Structure 1
Amino acid sequence: MRPAVSDLFSKTAEELKQTFDKKFFQRAKFIPSAKKTIAIFCALKDFIYQYPLESGRETLPVGLESLACRLEEQIKNSLCFLCQEKADCARCEQNARQITQDFILALPQIQRLVISDVNAAYEGDPAAISPVEPLLCYPGVTAVTLQRMAHFLHARGVRLIPRIVTEYAHSLTGIDIHPGASIGPAFFIDHGTGVVIGETCVIGANVKLYQGVTLGAKSFPLDPNGNPVKGIKRHPNIEDDVIIYAETTVLGNITIGRGSVIGANKWITQDVPPHTKLN
């Protein structure tokens, strides 16, 4: 005899629940919503880009306040889920409110950085007819804009949400930038597909990367249990005014000196002096 449909679903649901321990389920309600987070940051990107708003500029503060309230909820969920004390604690709520306020106050500075990126893209690409073209069309500008917002939260100890944002950008643009990477002004990723920038990268001003460039880690030190050691500097430092052409791989905690030009398809694991040209 075939089992009743209700029994079938009940059995499957019970087995699925066994995947996670009880502690996970106690905290699961605090997992930030990826769908809501992506919607918030897409709207914040529009505020930074200053798209024409049909309802008029006088509604800007109201719309921004609404986004801030929604963002605070997701930040609180993230903090509570990872809290070492207990879920839904008052400290997490206070921290979420302060981080959200600091983030909103930082948006004009983030916008200035984005404008510098847009100008770098326009000035660095002879095919661009105006700065509006990279703003609206270039995947590199989109990926870096979202990363700059995510980086602010990552630098203040928020986890999960920054990765949701940058992995959304990765899926959208094919450009993978960890929210921990520190990126200076006027950063331009031309074409963009396949670019990877690791967590501890430090990138200076006026840097230009082409498609397929990897700024990655050479190796992962292991702890006594054989697990990768976390929280150490393991990615490259790219100084000001550097250009790295397509499909070049730069690995490890090394420095590409100021003003250097690295040709395509290079494998680099040692420091490069300033003003070097590798053809």
Structure 2
Amino acid sequence: MIVANSSFLDHLQAQRSQYRYKLPSRPEAGRFIDQLMRLLFPVTQDCQSASQQIEETYQKLHQQLIHLFQPLSATLPASPDVITDQFFEQLPAIYDNLLLDAHAIVDNDPAAIGIEEVVAVYPGFYAIAVYRIANELLRLNVPLLPRMLTEYAHGHTGIDIHPGAQIGRSFFIDHGTGVVIGETTIIGDNVKVYQGVTLGATHVAKSMAQKKRHPTIQNNVVIYANATILGGRTVVGHDSVIGGNVWLTNSVEPYSLVYNQHQTDVRLKPLDDGEPINFVI
């Protein structure tokens, strides 16, 4: 039998009293988001029961959300029942926005076969969907749970979208791995983002917590792979294209094309006897 370290256990007990919040269960939060997605988009085999018993599934999700809110009751602006009702009142609008996001992927990705494939397997769509759900909960002043949901999606997709970001209609993330969208980012309509894009802050000091730290991306902007756009004052004007691997900390005008200039040096090709010759271009 292992003898417990009583002083360490006393320390853990004392530490518990210092926590500001009690949190919902992380596995239960993940189950809620996945079951809600199955209700909204029953395109795969494991969604059939949700689609066949839609009213029952809807009521179960309602109760699940109330249960997730219970540990947060003391910090909610209203009772868990009221906040849950308010969230489900917004679900039709969330669903409509998600359909626009899905169609944006279908319309812009030549590899996409149809909306069923997008909602079932595309990590970009899944991350956007979880963000939109979490963002609505944040708008209802629910603490902590929205971030738990987006971090759950982050773990599954490699796409990190803070629930506090403001993202417009018809948002398209292609591939997606490594995308980071910070808390105070503002993104307009019809924006396309590729893998490895960072919309981040130039400073990470705690004193900046209540300030706009992340960029504004206006309508119809395309941001290609591994571009980094930083700063709360940085605005990418509408209808601009930001090329791959660009590092941007200053605003650009609408209709701008920003790209990295590169130089191609032609290597020398050795002859059989070892003497090099130049390629002629």
**TM-score higher than 0.5:** yes
User: In the alignment, which residue of structure 1 is the partner of 2:202?
Assistant: 218
1:265 aligns with 2:245: yes
Distance 1:58 1:139 in 2: 26
1:40 aligns with 2:32: yes
Distance 1:167 1:278, change over 3 A: same
Alignment counterpart, residue 277 of structure 1, candidates 257, 262, 278: 257
- Aligned pairs for 1:120-199 (under 5 A) are 120-199=104-183
Instruction: Say which SS state the counterpart of residue 36 (structure 1) adopts.
Output: helix
Amino acid corresponding to residue 278 of structure 1 in structure 2: V
Shift of 1:147: 0.6
Alignment counterpart, residue 68 of structure 2, candidates 67, 74, 98: 74
Distance 2:15 2:134 in 1: 28
1:244 aligns with 2:223: yes
User: In the alignment, which residue of structure 2 is the partner of 1:105?
Assistant: 89
Distance 1:35 1:16 in 2: 27
Distance 1:57 1:265 in 2: 43
- Which deviates more, 185-194 or 129-138? 129-138
- Which deviates more, 51-60 or 159-168? 51-60
For the pair shown, which has the larger CA radius of gyration, 1 or 2?
Answer: 2
Number of paired residues? 256
Distance 2:164 2:254 in 1: 25
Query: TM-score scaled to structure 1, two decimals?
Result: 0.85
Shift of 1:76: 3.2
Shift of 1:45: 1.2
Distance 1:93 1:233 in 2: 25
Distance 1:34 1:74 in 2: 9
Structure 1 residue runs of 5 or longer lacking an equivalent are 84-91, 222-226
User: In the alignment, which residue of structure 2 is the partner of 1:63?
Assistant: 57
Shift of 1:63: 1.3
Query: TM-score scaled to structure 2, two decimals?
Result: 0.84
Amino acid corresponding to residue 75 of structure 1 in structure 2: F
Distance 1:63 1:76 in 2: 20
Instruction: Say which SS state the counterpart of residue 250 (structure 1) adopts.
Output: strand
Distance 1:65 1:264 in 2: 46
Alignment counterpart, residue 17 of structure 1, candidates 12, 16, 27: 12
Distance 1:65 1:205 in 2: 33
Distance 1:249 1:19 in 2: 43
Structure having greater relative contact order (Cα 8 Å, sep ≥ 6): 1
Distance 1:176 1:16 in 2: 34
Distance 1:32 1:242, change over 3 A: same
- Give CA deviations for 1:24-68 in whole Å, capped at 9, x if unaligned: 3xx77x421111111111111111213475447563122111111
1:49 aligns with 2:41: yes
Amino acid corresponding to residue 125 of structure 2 in structure 1: V
Distance 2:230 2:147 in 1: 22
- Aligned pairs for 1:88-103 (under 5 A) are 92=76, 94-103=78-87
Shift of 1:10: 5.7
Structure 2 residue runs of 5 or longer lacking an equivalent are 260-281
- 8 A Cα contact 1:49 1:111, kept in partner: no
Identity rate, percent: 38
For the aligned residues, what is the CA RMSD? 2.1
